[in-house]
A and B are shown apart, each in its own frame.
Chain A
């Protein structure tokens, strides 16, 4: 039986929410940007007027101002975006329980099982579109199709506040003339490669011999070919599906460059505390620590190292992370951003015990940090702090565990 899948995309999500909260912004080009003082000054989202001026997501504020001198810059309010994202998902859940989020502002819905209750896919899409507008005050564009890829493509075709239907009958007219980079998973480098062999549109890709694509791009080539021909079979996961956690990490762009070991240590402490607390929250130990460093020339690299014992102690993670930093950051260039990631996760319920004094010491630290977690839960994050963090409150003021936890997602999650 043919499936009916909706892809719903909240238009200019961050910017729309900000404009809703501040009606004065109506009719002005608006961009939501990180704070310049914290050196997060890039465009996170923009409204339609700013888009018309050529403002792009990811640009620095000064670049955006050059293109659009009247641009109004507003700071982000992540709490609001989380609230609106949740409200939108609640509306989707009135029509199906197969709702799969793709970032904060996008969702796939499989409504195949709800057609008898609510009418055709297009009808459901129109109802959702009207409800989002009436109840949340922001607009949505929805693509309706028989697979996830074309549904996503459809939601990009007409914006804002619109519904696009792509069927088995019309996809050759609607989808095939589109440039190949519109397809999910065709990024800049794949696009370049495809063009070099004469593939410019999705139709070109669909008509190319699948064997040739397999030779050029491996199994990804075959995958893209099946996407272009509407043969994507991936399922929409259930709203309650949680994907397996493979690693837990945090990273921060610091308010100023880190110039000495002490600075780096402060930053690493903040990150390790957050990572370790999250490990304990999910009942994991990690066996590997990974750090990522970006210097002031924006050169970025990652290094990882094994731990002697699986642990969820921030002290242990920190000492490994700091070792990795000392061993690899030889040129001593000032660092702009740092990240710490705990990988090789194992369940905390079944671990290998040891008589080694190091192990006993680590267990002691884990207990202490468990108590710190409880204190922070009751009295707030800043109720108990490490002494070293007072060395520079600018660097250590952040609380990565509770602020900015927006998880990156993959199309293939849950499979």
Chain B
């Protein structure tokens, strides 16, 4: 089972009220820039357990899910 890892996220709120995550601050201090958000939809996290708005993000040429489960953000750890 994957871990549910809550992370700090830098987020941009645009004028329309859209939420766009820009970067993730990892627990060890590393910062991962999000190159692109390719998909946004409400979805469950079947691996880590939870439900929220799921952002499919391209980070360093890999695709990762980032969940906004109000009021916190989490990623599925391995």
Tell me if A412 is interfacial: C-beta within 8 Å of chain B. Answer: no
Given contacts A23-B1, A24-B1, contact A137 B43 (CB under 8 A): yes
- Distance between Cα atoms of A388 and B1 in the complex (Å): 49
For B48, list chain A residues within 8 Å (CB).
23
- Is A20 among interface residues, defined by CB-CB distance under 8 A? yes
Contact call A137/B41, Cβ cutoff below 8 A: no
- Closest chain A residue to B54 by CB distance? A135
Give the size category of A's interface with B: 10 to 19
Which of chain A's residues have a CB closer than 8 A to the CB of B42? 87, 135-136
Task: Tell whether A84 is near chain B: CB-to-CB under 8 Å.
Answer: yes
- Contact present for B49 and A135 (CB under 8 Å): no
> B51: CB under 8 A from chain A?
yes
Q: How far is the CA of A22 from the CA of B45 in the complex (A)?
A: 10
Cβ-neighbour of B46 out of A23, A24, A84, A87 (below 8 A): A23
Q: Which residue of A lies closest to B47 (CB)?
A: A23
Distance in angstroms between the alpha carbons of A289 and B44 in the assembled complex: 46
Residues of B within 8 A of A137 (CB): 43-46, 51
Pair A20/B43 contact, Cβ less than 8 Å: no
The verdict on A355 contacting chain B, using a C-beta distance below 8 Å, is no
Question: In the complex, what residues of B have CB within 8 A of residue A20's CB?
Answer: 44, 46, 49-51
Query: A134 at interface (Cβ–Cβ under 8 A)?
Result: yes
Contacts of A22 in B (CB 8 A): 49
Query: Do B1 and A136 have beta carbons less than 8 Å apart?
Result: no
CB pair A136–B44 under 8 Å, yes or no, is yes
> How far is A253 from B68 in the complex, measured between Cα atoms in Å?
37
> How distant is A271 from chain B, measured CB to nearest CB, in Å?
32
| Residue numbers in A under 8 Å from B1 (CB-CB) | 23-24
CA distance A288 to B55 in the complex (A): 54
B43 A135 Cβ-Cβ under 8 A: yes
Residues of chain A with a CB closer than 8 A to B2's CB: 23
A134 to B39: give the CA distance in the assembly, Å.
14
Q: Is residue A21 contacting chain B, with contact meaning CB distance below 8 A?
A: yes
Show the binding face of B for A, using Cβ within 8 Å: 1-2, 41-51
Q: A residues within 8 Å of B by Cβ?
A: 20-24, 84, 87, 134-138
Q: List 24 A-B contacts (CB under 8 A).
A: A20-B46, A20-B49, A20-B50, A20-B51, A21-B50, A22-B49, A23-B1, A23-B46, A23-B47, A23-B48, A24-B1, A84-B51, A87-B42, A135-B41, A135-B43, A135-B44, A136-B42, A136-B44, A136-B51, A137-B44, A137-B45, A137-B46, A137-B51, A138-B44
Q: A20-B49, A21-B49 given. 5 additional CB < 8 A pairs?
A: A20-B50, A22-B49, A23-B1, A136-B42, A137-B46
Closest 4 CB pairs of A and B: A137-B44, A135-B42, A21-B49, A23-B49
